[in-house]
Structure 1
C-alpha cells in the first residue's frame, strides 16, 4: 500500500491534542492504565452507559445549534477539487471494525472521492448521537439498535451507511464447560454487561435452539466480559464481539465456542452504522456522499489487502494489540463486506425486521420505523 503516514497520523489525531483523549468516561473505573483499552474491556459494554444516556437525549438537544458542523459555508468539494472537510466521531478506539476507514485515510481514498475525513475518538461514547444530532460532528458511528431507540425518542439522526453489515455481538462460551450450542447454557452462568438488550438476546438465542431460557442464570460483570470468561468466573458471556474478543481469547488459549446471535433467532442487522443528522443530509449531501465513497473504497481496498489494512490500523492506533490484529482483521472483513453485498449497503426490510423484534421484546417504545431510520440516497450507486 502506498506510504502516506503523515497524512494518516494527522487525520486520526486532528480532532484532539492526542490520538486518544483519555479513557472513555463511563469505563474509567475499569481501565487499567498499564493495558491497552481494547485489552481491558469489551466493545459492547460501553452500551451500559449509552442506554441510560439516551433517556436524556431530548433534554440534551434542547437549545442546541449555532456552532454546527453542518452549517459550514461550503456544502461539498470545491470547484477546484479541494476535498471537503468532514468530521467523523468513532464509536471506540480504532480497531479492526474501522479497517475501511483507516485504509481510506492511509491511501488518500477519501481525498480522491472529495472528502477530507477528520476522525476522532469520543471522550464519552454517550455523546456521539447527540453531537451528530446537534451538528457538532458531521458523521458518527453507532449501533443500529441504539439508533432506533434514539429515533423513538425523537432524535433527528439517520443511518447513511453500514460499517458492519452483520451482528458482531455474540455468545462466547467456554467449550471446556460442556457448551457447544445455545441450549447447553441451561444450568450455566452467563456474564452480561447489564445492557437492557442482554436478556432479550440471550433468551431468543437459547429458545431458538430448543432450550429453556428460564434455566439460564446471568451475572452482571460490567466491563469485564472477556476477562471474566478467561478467568473462569462465568461459563459464557453475551455482548463480546466474535471478531474482536473471539480471536483475542483464542490467542490466550482460552477454550471457546462462539455462537453468533443471528444464527439463532435474532434478526440480522447492521451492528455498526454511520449516522448523520437530517439537517446535514439536507444541507451537506455532497460532502457526506464523498465521505461515504471514500470509506467504501477503503473497505474494498482492505478486503483485497489484509496486510495493508493491518498496517493502516497500527498507524491509526499505535497502542492497538498488534499480535492479535491480523486475526481480528481477517475475521472482520467479511462483516464489513459480506459475500454478495457492497460496502456500506443497508437493507430496508432488514431494518424493519429489527425494529419489529425490538418492539416485541420491549426494547423500544413508541412508533419507530426501521426503514425510516435509514437514508441510502448518498451511498455510492453500487451500494444502494
Structure 2
C-alpha cells in the first residue's frame, strides 16, 4: 500500500476575530519584514505560474494584484502563463517560485523525482462533472451504457469513468470512448461528436447553461465520492528546496494569496471585476456567475481557504495505486503540507 497518513499537524485556524484583525492590516503578518525592506529598496521578485489561461480559479491572485496587496507586502509578482514546459517542471527546476497545478499532475511528477510539494488547496471541493445534453437522458452514471464519452484517453480519466459506471451497477464496457474533436465541448456536443464529456462546473457548465442557454445535465463528481475519490484541482505547489532556502518569500506570497481568496469569497463581484481589469478579453457574462459559484466552493468558510485534508490525499493516492497509476510506496505524506497556512 502507498505510505499515507491519517493526520498531519497544521497551524491552528484563525478565529473569526483574528481573521478580521489580519484583514485590517495593510500587510499580512508573514510579510512584515519584506514590506519594510521594500520601502527602502527594490521589491522582491516572485513568479507564479498558472495552470491554464487566466480564469476564475485565479480570482484570489488577480484580486490581490489589483488591490496592490503584493506590492504592499514588498513583492513584485510576475504571472507566467503555461507553455511547453509545465509549471511543475519550472518550479522543480528553480525557474519559478509557485505554481497552480492539480493533484493528478503532482503525484506522477513526484514519482519521476520532481521536487514539488502542494502547499494549499485552491478549490477545496472538486468541481469536475460529466456534462451532456439534457435530451440524451443521462441522469446517473449507469445511464452512460450505450453512450459515447468524449475524452483524451488518459489512464486516470478512464479509471474514474469505469469506477463511476460500475459503482452505479452499470457496465463500463458498454460505454464507447471517442476522442475529443475540439477543445470546446459546446462545439462537439452541438455536432453530435459524443454524448458526454468531462467539464468543470465553475466554467464550462455555467458557460453552456447560463451564458449560451443550452439545456444540459451534469453528473458532479462531488455527488459520487462513495464511488470515486475527491482530489485537489487546482492546488498551489512549491519546491521543497525553495521552501527550505527562502521560506519567508513563499510564506509572504501565500499570505497575500490567502487574503486574496478570502476576500474573493466575501466579495465575488469585486473579485470578478479585478480579474476582468487584468484580462479584459474574458466574458463578463461568464466571469461574474463563475466568481459567485466559486465563492461558495473555494472552501467551507473564508478562514478555511487553502487547508488540505489528509483523508482526501490518502483516498486519492489509494485510488491511483489501486489502478496502477502510482507506486505502492508513494509517500503521500511528503506530497503536501499546510505549514505555510496560518
Q: TM-score range by the shorter chain?
A: 0.7 to 0.9
1:288 lines up with 2:250 in the alignment: yes
Pair 1:262–1:369, CA change in 2 (3 A): farther
Mind listing any 5+ residue stretches in structure 1 that lack a counterpart? Answer: 1-75
Mapping of 1:34-45 within 5 angstroms? none
1:356 lines up with 2:335 in the alignment: no
1:132 lines up with 2:91 in the alignment: yes
> Does the 8 A contact of 1:189 with 1:236 survive in 2?
yes
> Does the 8 A contact of 2:261 with 2:302 survive in 1?
no
Mapping of 1:1-384 within 5 angstroms? 77=34, 79-82=36-39, 84-124=44-84, 126-221=85-180, 223-226=182-185, 227-238=187-198, 240-250=199-209, 251-264=211-224, 265-339=227-301, 342-365=304-327, 367-379=329-341, 381=342
RMSD: 1.9
Residue 64 (structure 1) aligns with = none
Residue 16 (structure 1) aligns with = none
Mind listing any 5+ residue stretches in structure 2 that lack a counterpart? Answer: 1-32
Residue 275 of structure 1 and its aligned partner are, at CA, apart by 0.9
> Does the 8 A contact of 1:114 with 1:287 survive in 2?
no
Deviation track 1:165-198 (CA, whole Å, cap 9, x = no partner) reads 2223221121111111111111111111232221
Residue 229 of structure 1 and its aligned partner are, at CA, apart by 2.0
Question: d(CA) in 1 for partners of 2:287 and 2:190?
Answer: 19
- Compute the TM-score of the two structures, normalised by the length of structure 2: 0.83
Question: d(CA) in 1 for partners of 2:163 and 2:171?
Answer: 10
Higher relative contact order (CA 8 A, sep 6+): 2
Look up the SS of the partner of 1:368 in the other structure. Answer: coil
Residue 259 of structure 1 and its aligned partner are, at CA, apart by 1.2
Question: d(CA) in 1 for partners of 2:102 and 2:238?
Answer: 13
Question: d(CA) in 1 for partners of 2:149 and 2:79?
Answer: 35
Count, aligned residues: 303
Residue 25 (structure 1) aligns with = none
> Does the 8 A contact of 2:266 with 2:302 survive in 1?
no
> Does the 8 A contact of 2:48 with 2:79 survive in 1?
yes
- Compute the TM-score of the two structures, normalised by the length of structure 1: 0.74
Pair 1:165–1:341, CA change in 2 (3 A): farther
Residue 370 of structure 1 and its aligned partner are, at CA, apart by 2.3
